[in-house]
Amino acid sequence: MTEAPGLTTQHQATTRLTQLKRGQRGIVVEASLDASDAALLRAMGLCAAAKVRLCRAGEPCIVAVDCGCGGQCRIGLARPLAERIMVRVDN
């Protein structure tokens, strides 16, 4: 997931996932990840255009990911991994 495939990336108000404030929402626009990390995150629902909410900054970085079923799941990410994920702030 080096870039969000099929997503028009307009770099307006984009920031690192780790720079969101607690409770702030974002939409994943791109990530600089190797293939295995990208595949693992996709399997957990964290992919291009995923809607996320920062629950906890730090180590680990906890994010809630909106699921297609209308629910959410929370995942913990190592901070170095979370820093490579760029989101568009979703007000």
The identity of residue 82, as a single letter, is A
Options 1.10.3720.10, 2.30.30.90, 1.10.10.10, 3.30.70.260; CATH for 14-89 is: 2.30.30.90
62-71 pLDDT tens trace: 999 998 777 8
For residue 9, pLDDT over 70 is answered with: no
Mean predicted confidence (pLDDT) in 52-70? 91
- Strands of 61-66's sheet in order across: 14-16, 85-89, 25-31, 51-56, 61-66, 72-77
Contact 60, 75 (CB under 8 A): no
| C-alpha–C-alpha distance, residues 4 and 49, integer Å | 7
Share of the chain above pLDDT 90, in %: 71
Q: What is the mean pLDDT of the segment spanning 75-86? A: 96
